[in-house]
Chain A
Amino acid sequence: MAMDVCGLLLDEAPDAFVVQSPEGIVLHWSRSAESIFGYVANEVVGRDLLDLIVPADRADEERSMRCEALETGFAAIESLRRCKDGSLVFVSISAKTVGDGQGRPQYLIVCKKDVTQLKVMRDAKLVDARYSKLLESMPDGIVLINASGRIVFANSQAEAMFAYEAGRLRGLPVEALLPERLRGGHVAHRSAYFGQLRTRAMGMGLELYGLRQDGSEFPVEIGLSPLETGEGTLVTSAIRDITERKRIERALHEKNVELAKANAAKDRFLASMSHELRTPLNAIIGFTGTLLMKLPGPLNEVQEKQLRRVQSGGQHLLELINDLLDIAKIEAGKVELVVEPLDCRTVVEDVAATLRPAAEGKGLAFAIEVVDESLRLSTDRRAFSQILINLVQNAIKFTERGCVTIRLARRIEGELALVEVSVRDTGMGIGDEDLQRLFAPFSRITPRSGKFAEGTGLGLHLSQKLAGHMGGRITVESAPGVGSTFALVLPEG
């Protein structure tokens, strides 16, 4: 059988054969050219390859190769060409001029050999020799890509991340590591990046996903940086699997939403509880009041005495509700302090003026002792007064004879200047055992006279919590039978 050597060579040789006019118009486009570049003959014949497969940044190179071939008869370069699908291939190009017999060039015979994989192997060899130890020691997955977008190196972290066996990533287009839907855009991104090389930090840019060999996806963060080698520029891509971080972020976000909801529910509950507890108390306190005002008619002595019991019971319940709600608010972090500069002495005198009648009504002396003038505080006036009122009321309540003294002084602790507002009484005093649990809710001092003093049992607990909220504390010193001193200590300034 006769062998059609010409046909075989033209169509079946692995390299692309192109016949061009001296002006660069394609006259023949071989079958292997079709398979390398993706364009069929009738898309190419009659056109200039500069408009088809030569990337813009390689156009000058292509033109000078043609000139050289026309002038000297031969030229050869290695360059990049763009296929119909946008991917880039490395080609080794040789061009020869064929004359018309009268010394004028008639055709350019151009042979293009796809050396993409050879180039990968060359780059890989270079990277392996110089950088593989360094890149293997990185905690992130590292993938190096050459200008054709082929992977020339992947460290074992990257192989594990994308579930490839050792060495199997080498030579693949980097788009193989991306989900299908992101590939098209990526080719353009990649070309743009090679056109304008710069280091880009991890996590900048868009939400990215990696594609494992088994087709599953995972969220990634990618950092890019150029790496110059003698054989051209490579791009180093550091890849981090952020599945776990995303999961934690999502969990945190969900937790935050949940917490905000729980917080809002707690607010609503507190507001409702306050409202619902006060509503029936309104009738109890109100009608007891109308009866005691004798609006409906006269009362006998027993009725009046018993109604006073109902009244004070109602008042007590109201105080309990107020204190409990205050504590609940402090514990829920709902107490907003309005911090303003205060002149201690003025506030103390205001509180003293309110409570002096109660002390003197019991026959107690009542005094203010100002040790240091012009002590200034930056704190919430209402909270400050509330604590002071509580301490002074307690002092009056537990003192049968003698005096209650409010003392205003500066106290130095190390480098700290503190303001100490103390309330001293000459009352029954507090035993060691009671001192231990004085600030606990509903704690009562062991009675000596056989009955507990009135009160909610929440006052000191609330005051101590409030003081803590204000950045201070309440201290106590006491000796049974001698008296007690409670002090509110706050930072001066």
Chain B
Amino acid sequence: MSVAVRILLVEDNPANLELVSYLLEAAGHIVLIAEDGRQGLELARKEPPPDLIVSDLRMPVMDGFEMLRHIRMDATLNDVPVIAVTAFSMSGDQTRVMLAGFDGYISKPIVPETFVSEVEAYLKAGRRKAGPPADP
């Protein structure tokens, strides 16, 4: 992807945070970092909003599901796709995540060779129109 985009990365595990931000930065993207859902929400609300949010699900303080609910209630963040990168990858987890209203799902362990292109594909697809809306 030729144009650099601003990606908000929300992840509490330092090693995974470093890995994902490294991959995204190596691909030329600008990465904003938050270590839990609450920080992520605060950062997302600062002008200008990020182009994409990549978030872990299980986090202290505020988890990914709750952060998504707040984001979806915020009109200024309406167009920002949010994708989940999670170690919840047993059968049924992907459905659960998509039903919660995420725009994409990548399971951990990630495949480093293809991770960036997966993220970019979700970015290109934008907000998911089909499927049920996020729980109120």
Those of B98-122 within 8 Å (CB) of chain A: 107-113, 115
- B76 touches A (CB below 8 Å): no
Q: Is A282 touching B90 in the complex (CB atoms < 8 A)?
A: no
Complex A-B: 18 CB contacts under 8 Å: A274-B87, A274-B88, A275-B87, A275-B88, A278-B108, A279-B87, A280-B15, A281-B108, A282-B19, A283-B19, A286-B16, A286-B19, A289-B112, A289-B113, A290-B19, A290-B112, A318-B109, A329-B90
Q: Is A278 touching B19 in the complex (CB atoms < 8 A)?
A: no
Q: Is A286 touching B89 in the complex (CB atoms < 8 A)?
A: no
Q: Is B113 touching A293 in the complex (CB atoms < 8 A)?
A: yes
Q: Report how far A270 CA is from B16 CA in the complex, Å.
A: 22
A8: chain B residues at CB < 8 Å are none
Q: Is A271 touching B109 in the complex (CB atoms < 8 A)?
A: no
Enumerate chain B interface residues (CB-CB to A < 8 A).
13, 15-16, 19-20, 22-23, 26, 58, 87-90, 107-113, 115
B109: chain A residues at CB < 8 Å are 278, 281-282, 284-286, 314, 318
Is chain A's binding surface mostly helix, strand, loop or mixed?
helix
Bitwise, A344-359 to B at CB < 8 A (1) or not (0) is 0000000000000000
A283: chain B residues at CB < 8 Å are 13, 15-16, 19
A285: chain B residues at CB < 8 Å are 109-112
Those of A286-317 within 8 Å (CB) of chain B: 286-290, 293, 295, 314
CB-nearest residue of chain B to A271: B90
Q: With A278-B87, A286-B16 in contact, is A295–B22 under 8 Å at CB?
A: yes
CB-nearest residue of chain A to B23: A290
- A40 touches B (CB below 8 Å): no
Enumerate chain A interface residues (CB-CB to B < 8 A).
270-271, 274-276, 278-290, 293, 295, 314, 318, 325, 329
A271-B90, A279-B108, A285-B111 known; 5 other A-B pairs, CB under 8 Å? A274-B87, A274-B88, A279-B16, A282-B13, A286-B109
Q: Is B23 touching A282 in the complex (CB atoms < 8 A)?
A: no
B81, chain A: closest CB distance, angstroms: 22
B115, chain A: closest CB distance, angstroms: 8
Q: Report how far A314 CA is from B22 CA in the complex, Å.
A: 20
Q: Is B90 touching A295 in the complex (CB atoms < 8 A)?
A: no
CB-nearest residue of chain A to B26: A295
Q: Report how far A289 CA is from B116 CA in the complex, Å.
A: 13
A274: chain B residues at CB < 8 Å are 87-90
Q: Report how far A284 CA is from B110 CA in the complex, Å.
A: 10
Q: Report how far A278 CA is from B23 CA in the complex, Å.
A: 19
Nearest first, the 6 closest Cβ-Cβ pairs linking A and B are A289-B112, A283-B15, A278-B87, A282-B109, A286-B19, A282-B108
Q: Report how far A318 CA is from B109 CA in the complex, Å.
A: 8
* Pick from A287, A293, A314: contact of B19, CB under 8 Å: A287
Q: Report how far A270 CA is from B26 CA in the complex, Å.
A: 35
Q: Is B113 touching A282 in the complex (CB atoms < 8 A)?
A: no
B115: chain A residues at CB < 8 Å are 286
Q: Report how far A280 CA is from B13 CA in the complex, Å.
A: 9
B19: chain A residues at CB < 8 Å are 282-283, 286-287, 290
Q: Is B13 touching A325 in the complex (CB atoms < 8 A)?
A: no
Q: Report how far A46 CA is from B26 CA in the complex, Å.
A: 111
Q: Is B89 touching A278 in the complex (CB atoms < 8 A)?
A: yes
B58, chain A: closest CB distance, angstroms: 6
Q: Report how far A281 CA is from B110 CA in the complex, Å.
A: 9
Q: Report how far A288 CA is from B22 CA in the complex, Å.
A: 13
